[in-house]
Amino acid sequence: MGVFPLLRLLADGEFHSGQSLGRSFGLTRAAIWNRVRAIEGAGLPVFKVRGRGYRLAEPLDLIDARALEAALSECAVRFSVDLLDECESTNTALLERAHAGAPHASALVCELQRAGRGRRGSRWQSGIGTGLTFSVLWRFEESAGSLSGLSLAVGVAMVRAVAAFGFDHVQLKWPNDLLLGGQKLGGILIEVSGDHLGPSFAVIGIGLNVRMPRELSGRIERAATGLEDATVPSRTPLLARSLCSLGEVLPEFARLGFGPFRDEWIRRHAWQERMVTLRIAEDRVAEGTAAGVAEDGALLLRTARGIERFHGGELRLKEK
Ligand code: BTN
């Protein structure tokens, strides 16, 4: 038995005696103690009080599978969701399943992602109960080459999802970061595969920080934030709303491309009309004023040569 069954009992933040926990799982008190240590090792402090037992320092917001299913029944798209306690990376696992024939609109959600992947070989760090880490498989009739702009449309879907909880000041950074107060709130990793002329599929991976405990921010290189607020939404409805929002955006993207989402993306563009640099390759950097995005999702920069379009690279604000 891993630590999650125990965590589900401790999630209420109340005291549970070692004896009652042992009885619930048919484990000795020593075996419970070992798992408590593993929980602490995963970054969740546990209080131990003689005569009372164990309790988490704070209640833990784990995903409620039943509530998720109920909320998803209201969605435009019927997702087939698999909720795992632990995995290496939801993108890696769903890519494997996609190649093995997993159906369209499969979703894979993981409570603890041990080796989350970000763009350009970076790592995506997350903790237990702190954020959302999930991937969605979407099959397209067109070739993978026609999916440029998909990650921007997904950004719009996620901005809409968090706005539904009152976070209507989340912004987008090209090509697919979510920013809150200028700091990274979420990231999108899209991996596509398919025939030259279609069909194709995309595994759309989303990492969203909900809470940002110090232990987690210490593991993240760049400034990152969560939806820190008195009214921070619980993860289950947030996940359901994110999936439903994707279920609204993706079919429209499949029919019409990024075009219908372009104006909304630009309204949310964090660096619109700011001076930026775009590192395209080790020895190639473009510089200009961010002038929005094109209908195919290309970044538009106003440079000395006029409006130029870019399809890849790492964007930074230009230091003053
Ligand atoms: C980035 O900002 O670089 C993209 C981060 C994407 C992280 C998510 S978490 C769920 C999914 N599984 C992964 O391994 N990565 C994506």
Beta bridge partners of 148: none
Task: Determine the distance separating the centroid of ligand 1 and the alpha carbon of 241, expressed in angstroms.
Answer: 18
Provide the CA 258 distance to its chain's centre, in angstroms: 20
State mean pLDDT over 82-109: 98
State mean pLDDT over 128-151: 94
The pLDDT score that the predictor gives to residue 233 is 83
Ligand 1, atom 11, residue with closest C-alpha: 205
Q: What is the mean pLDDT of the chain?
A: 94
Per-residue CA distances from 153 to 43, 221, 261 (Å): 34, 26, 6
Of the listed ranges 7-11, 121-125, 197-201, 217-221, the least confidently predicted one is: 217-221
CB neighbours of residue 42 within 10 Å: 15
State mean pLDDT over 12-23: 94
Q: What are phi and psi of 62, to 5 degrees?
A: -90, 160
Task: Determine the distance separating the centroid of ligand 1 and the alpha carbon of 248, expressed in angstroms.
Answer: 21
The pLDDT score that the predictor gives to residue 17 is 93
- Using CA atoms, how far apart are residues 206 and 75, in angstroms rounded to an integer? 18
Q: For residue range 155-170, what is the model confidence (pLDDT) as tens digits?
A: 999 999 999 999 999 9
Cis-peptide into 175, omega within 30 deg: yes
Ligand 1, atom 2, residue with closest C-alpha: 187
Gyration radius (Cα) of the chain, Å: 21
The pLDDT score that the predictor gives to residue 272 is 96
Nearest atom, ligand 1, residue 184 CA = 2
Q: For residue range 291-315, what is the model confidence (pLDDT) as tens digits?
A: 999 999 999 999 999 999 999 999 9
State mean pLDDT over 244-253: 98
The yes-or-no verdict on residue 222 having pLDDT over 90 is no
Nearest atom, ligand 1, residue 90 CA = 12
Q: Indicate the pLDDT class of residue 221, thresholds 50, 70 and 90.
A: confident
The yes-or-no verdict on residue 232 having pLDDT over 70 is yes
Ligand 1 pocket, mutate which of 106, 114, 124, 137 (most atoms under 8 A from CB): 124
State mean pLDDT over 126-144: 94
The yes-or-no verdict on residue 195 having pLDDT over 70 is yes
Beta bridge partners of 83: 109
- Using CA atoms, how far apart are residues 150 and 286, in angstroms rounded to an integer? 23
DSSP 223: -
Nearest atom, ligand 1, residue 116 CA = 14
Ranges of H-type helices in the chain: 4-10, 18-25, 29-41, 65-72, 90-99, 150-163, 214-217, 235-256, 262-267
Task: Determine the distance separating the centroid of ligand 1 and the alpha carbon of 135, expressed in angstroms.
Answer: 8
The pLDDT score that the predictor gives to residue 320 is 61
The pLDDT score that the predictor gives to residue 62 is 96
Per-residue CA distances from 179 to 86, 162, 187 (Å): 27, 12, 9
For the chain, list the strands marked E by DSSP.
Answer: 46-49, 53-56, 80-87, 106-113, 116-117, 123-124, 131-140, 171-173, 177-180, 183-194, 200-209, 275-281, 284-293, 299-303, 306-310, 314-317
The yes-or-no verdict on residue 133 having pLDDT over 70 is yes
User: What SS3 state is found at 242?
Assistant: helix
The yes-or-no verdict on residue 270 having pLDDT over 80 is yes
State mean pLDDT over 229-237: 84
| CB-defined site of ligand 1, < 6 Å | 89-91, 113, 116-119, 122, 124, 133-135, 177, 187-189, 205-207
Nearest atom, ligand 1, residue 177 CA = 2
The yes-or-no verdict on residue 230 having pLDDT over 80 is no
Q: What are phi and psi of 209, to 5 degrees?
A: -80, 125
Task: Determine the distance separating the centroid of ligand 1 and the alpha carbon of 28, expressed in angstroms.
Answer: 38
- Using CA atoms, how far apart are residues 153 and 262, in angstroms rounded to an integer? 8
The yes-or-no verdict on residue 64 having pLDDT over 90 is yes
Q: For residue range 33-53, what is the model confidence (pLDDT) as tens digits?
A: 999 999 998 889 999 999 999
Ligand 1, atom 16, residue with closest C-alpha: 205
